[in-house]
Amino acid sequence: APLTGLDTWIVWEPVPATGWSLIAAFTKDDAPIDTSVLRRWRIVFGAGLVVFLSTLTALLLNAASGARSRLWLLSAVVSALLVAGIGFTWRAALTFGDADDLSGLIVTDSAGLKSLERTISDRSRQRLTEPPIFVPTGVLIESLRFEGATDVDVRGYVWQRYGLESHADVERGISFAGVAAERIGEPQIERTSDTEILRWPFEVSQRVRFENSKYPLMRERFALRIVPRSPASNVMLVPDLGAYPLLSPTTRPGLDENVYLPGWEITRTFFELRERAAETSFGLENSATRETFPSLYFNIEVRKEFVDTFVSNLVPLIIVVVVVFLVLMIIEREEEQILLMRAGPGFNLSICGTLLFVAVFAHIGARQKIAAQEIIYLEFFYIVIYFTLLWVAIDAILYVRCPNSKFLQYEKNLLPKVLFWPVTLGAIWLVTLVTFY
C-alpha cells in the first residue's frame, strides 16, 4: 500500500444495482491465519526436499563405489543442502511465528469497538448491574529501553477524553497495573465546548520474562495494563481509536516513529481488551450491582534482530569449526609427512584443546549475556562444536593406534574427513527442525 509501505490484500465486489463496488483492504501480515501451521508445513517441505535431494545425489554419484572424488563431491553437495535447509527453517521461523496466544480481543476498528460496548452494556442491563462508563484512552510511546535481561523501561504519554456532561461524576486519572515502578506526571488539560482531554507524561519500569528457548530467532510481546485510578468504580477504559490515523497493528499505532530498540525490531502494536477475574475486593464490600469489566492493554511485539546475533555469536563458531576441519585434514601417520607438516596426534590434540577453551569461554559469555534459565537454541551450536572437537581428537589417536581399522585407514582417513561437514551440519539441522517445528 502506498500509505503504509506494507503488503496489502484488496477484495472487491461490484454492486450492480448502484453501479458502485464494495472494497475491503487489509494488511497481509494482519490476516487472521494460524501462522504456526504454515511454519510447520514449510519446515516439513524443506526437510523432505533436503532428504530427497541428498538421496538422489548419492544414487547419481554412485557413492557406494568408494571413489575419493565421488565421496568428496557427495559431501559438498549434502553439506550445501543442509546449509540451505537450516536457512530455510530460519526463514520460516522468522516469517511465521507461533500463533497468537492472546486471551482477549484485539481492537483495531471503531465499528468492532462500538459493537463490544453495546454487548457489555446489554449484559449489564440483563444482570441488573451498573452499566459501565466508557472512557476513551490513548497511548503514545516515545522511548523503549531494556534494563538488563528482565526489565523494560517505557516512557511516553497517556491521555483520556471525557464528555463534560456524560462523565461529569467520573473520577479522572489512570494507573498502570503489574509494573515494577511507575511515575505519572501532572496532567495537561485541554477543554472544548463539550469535551475535556487530560494528558499525562509517564515512565514505567515493567518486569518481563521472555521465552529464550529459541534465541536468537525470538518473537516476544509485552503489554502495559492501564486501569482507572479508582479500582471500585464502574469505569471501563477503551482505546481512543479516533486519535490514530492508522489502526493496523503492523503500522504500529501508538508508537513514535523515532522509537529505536537496539538489537530488536518492533513489529506490531495494538490495543487489547482482556477479561480478568477479580483477584481481590481491595477491602471494599462486594456489591451485587457491580461487576468486573475487561481491562485495557497496550501490546508491543518485538523480534530479535538476527544479523546482529549472527555476527556476534555464530561467526566465531564458524571459524572454530573451519579450523577443526583443517586439523582433521592434516592427520597423518607416516613419519615423513609428520615431520614435513610438523603435525601428529599430539599436535592435533593441543590444537583441539586450545579451540575447546575458545568455545567454552564464548559459550559462558553468551550464557551470561542472555541470562536464560533453560537451554537455548544457540547453545546447541556450542554443544555440537564440543562433540566435533572430541571427534577429531579421538580420530587422531585411533588413526595411529588402530592401523587395521578399515573405516579409519581407508584412503588415509578419508571417511572421517568426508563425513565431517555432513555430520556436523546434520546435527545442527536436526536441532533446528526440532526447535522450530
Q: Which three cell numbers stand for residue 360?
A: 567454552
Q: Which residues of the chain have pLDDT under 70?
A: 1-9, 24-34, 97-102, 148-149, 232, 276-290, 331-348, 371-372
pLDDT for res 3: 47
pLDDT for res 430: 95
Nearest by Cα to 381 from 303, 320, 304:
320
Pairing of strands 219-228, 105-107: unpaired
Nearest by Cα to 4 from 243, 222, 257:
257
Helices assigned H by DSSP within 233-376: 306-309, 315-329, 335-341, 345-370
pLDDT for res 411: 80
pLDDT for res 255: 93
Residue 286 to residues 232, 275, 281, 292, Cα–Cα distance (Å) = 10, 19, 7, 11
pTM given for the model: 0.75
- Report the distance separating Cα 367 and Cα 376, nearest Å: 9
**Three-state SS letters, 143-204:** EEEEECCCEEEEEEEEEEEEECCCCCCCCCCEEEECCCEEEECCCEEEECCCEEEEEEEEEE
Burial of 22 (0-12, 13-18, 19+ CB in 10 A): exposed
201 has which bridge partners? Answer: 157
- Residue 352 near residue 327 (C-beta atoms within 8 A): yes
pLDDT tens-digit series, residues 330-361? 765 555 555 545 555 666 677 777 788 778 88
- Report the distance separating Cα 59 and Cα 69, nearest Å: 15
| β strands within 74-150, DSSP E | 105-107, 133-147
pLDDT for res 7: 64
pLDDT tens-digit series, residues 268-326? 899 999 886 555 555 555 554 567 788 999 999 988 887 777 777 788 888 888 988 88
pLDDT for res 340: 45
- Report the distance separating Cα 187 and Cα 154, nearest Å: 18
- Report the distance separating Cα 278 and Cα 296, nearest Å: 15
pLDDT for res 323: 86
- Report the distance separating Cα 289 and Cα 12, nearest Å: 47
pLDDT for res 260: 85
Q: Which DSSP letter does residue 297 get? A: E
